[in-house]
């Protein structure tokens, strides 16, 4: 067989999930994957993501052409979106782009529309006013509150800077192919558009134009990203459970949950992977957390967080398990220097590659946490590049879908997401929410008893 694209190490599940228990779950996990393939499962109208590694290929030249135009013209590109509309792109861009030394004349990617912070808005609008920029607004309906509010503000700034007609030409709309407020605006002003497929939910959209256009603007090879996902999909389809890390991971999560492990900590040892853990939190949280069940997804950046919540992980409530994200060859040739005084007592590290020190921190951590009652698994990437990251993202999408089915929920809906919006609309006086508004305002007033010095 060719070189592994990804590998899963379940060595530290002993004591909670045995190899025999894992194999006993093979039939259920395999059946769940088969139900996804045959579209015989809850949410079957939203399974278009499974075929994206193949079906997106014809659109790639157009996406690359648009991305090149943006990169040649605009020093700044603003991505307006929330949830899956921006997290997939952001996790790839931050994983693969240098933190401090971007390529010459690279377009800076800025994110907006994922919160409602007034100080952030004031700072960003003032900063953009002094720079040339373009916008990619990503919303299937065009009415999602946070992106829509931000789009109003930034669209107004574009008109102020460039005039309405020229400003509108700097907008790309990634939205529904046929309907919705944003689609109507795009048709009226003849904006460049890309479709959000009807059969792909936001959190599974990284391999659509939703994710691929911002990633391409950042200068990342989207063909390699898709190639990794495509090869992972092929192997997953052809590989039985006993040698299939994706299905084994889904089964292990299910068994850990049944054993009382209700929180999954996604942990990495590289700052570049911070936004990957944020994407994972959204993918698994929105897919599984419903009907009073589901694993709560959390994220840690090690070794940093080993000096904070690491204490809780080591000795707190034993409701946790960890999934480590490990890069086997992360690059970098930094070594620990020698110090003549050796005041810190670290000369035993002198000459060692810093990456080796980091790796031993990982090995020491997973042993310590397992001995402390926190079982863990480790996903290993041979290298942190577009190909292997594409494979990892697709692997997690499949594993999340299989996990949801194993737990008896629809992994592709999100009915609870609307609850806060209804209350917010009512409190802000949206027409049609008058009765709800009165009741909520009474609750806000009654709850407003503060204790202060």
Active-site residues, by number, are 286, 307, 421
Structure tokens at 313: 């992980």
3-state SS of 283-336 is HHHHHHCECCECCEEEEEECCHHHHCCHHHHHHCCCCEEEEEEEECCCCCCCEC
Length of the chain: 453
303 upstream amide cis, omega within 30 of 0: yes
Residues paired with residue 12 on neighbouring β-strands, in sequence order? 376
Taking the C-alpha atoms of residue 177 and residue 13, their distance in angstroms, rounded to an integer, is: 46
Q: Cα separation of 440 and 411, whole Å?
A: 31
Place of tokens 């692997």: 395
Query: Nearest to residue 427, comparing CAs of 445, 448, 441?
Result: 441
Rg of the chain on CA atoms, in Å: 24
User: Which segments within 99-161 are labelled E, that is strand?
Assistant: 108-112, 133-138
Dist. CA 93–CA 83, nearest whole Å: 16
Strands 7-12 and 376-381: what pairing?
antiparallel
């Amino acid at each position: 067989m060719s070189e592994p694209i990804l590998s899963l190490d379940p060595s530290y599940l002993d004591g909670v999930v045995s190899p025999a228990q894992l194999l006993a779950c093979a039939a259920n996990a395999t059946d769940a994957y088969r139900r996804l393939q045959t579209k015989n499962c809850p949410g079957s109208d939203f399974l278009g993501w499974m075929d994206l590694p193949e079906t997106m290929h014809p659109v790639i030249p157009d996406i690359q052409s648009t991305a090149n135009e943006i990169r040649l013209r605009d020093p700044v590109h603003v991505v307006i979106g929330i949830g899956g509309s921006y997290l997939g792109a952001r996790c790839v861009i931050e994983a693969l782009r240098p933190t401090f030394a971007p390529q010459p004349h690279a377009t800076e990617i800025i994110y907006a529309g994922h919160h409602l912070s007034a100080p952030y808005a004031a700072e960003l609008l003032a900063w953009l006013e002094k720079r040339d920029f373009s916008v990619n607004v990503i919303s299937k309906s065009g009415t999602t509150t946070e992106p829509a509010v931000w789009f109003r503000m930034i669209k107004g700034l574009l008109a102020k800077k460039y005039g309405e007609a020229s400003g509108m030409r700097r907008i790309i709309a990634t939205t529904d192919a046929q309907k919705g407020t944003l689609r109507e605006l795009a048709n009226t002003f003849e904006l460049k558009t890309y479709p959000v497929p009807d059969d792909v939910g936001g959190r599974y959209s990284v391999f659509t134009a939703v994710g691929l256009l911002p990633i391409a603007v950042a200068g990342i090879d989207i063909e390699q990203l898709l190639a990794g996902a495509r090869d992972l999909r092929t192997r997953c389809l052809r590989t039985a459970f006993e040698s299939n890390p994706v299905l084994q991971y889904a089964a292990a999560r299910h068994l850990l949950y049944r054993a009382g492990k209700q929180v999954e900590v996604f942990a990495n040892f590289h700052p570049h992977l911070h936004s990957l853990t944020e994407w994972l939190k959204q993918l698994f949280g929105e897919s599984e957390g419903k009907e009073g069940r589901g694993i709560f997804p959390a994220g840690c950046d090690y070794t940093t967080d080993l000096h904070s919540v690491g204490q809780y992980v080591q000795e707190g409530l034993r409701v946790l398990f960890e999934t480590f994200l490990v890069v086997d060859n992360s690059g970098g040739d930094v070594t620990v220097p020698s110090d003549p005084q050796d005041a810190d007592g670290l000369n035993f590290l002198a000459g060692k590659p810093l990456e080796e020190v980091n790796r031993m921190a990982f090995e020491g951590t997973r042993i310590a946490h397992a001995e402390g009652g926190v079982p863990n698994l480790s996903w290993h990437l041979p290298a942190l590049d577009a190909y292997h990251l594409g494979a990892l993202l697709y692997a997690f999408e499949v594993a999340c879908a299989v996990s949801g089915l194993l737990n008896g929920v629809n992994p592709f809906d999100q009915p609870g997401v609307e609850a806060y919006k209804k209350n917010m609309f009512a409190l802000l006086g949206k027409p049609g929410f008058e009765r709800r508004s009165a009741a909520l305002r009474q609750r806000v007033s009654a709850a407003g008893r503060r204790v202060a010095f």
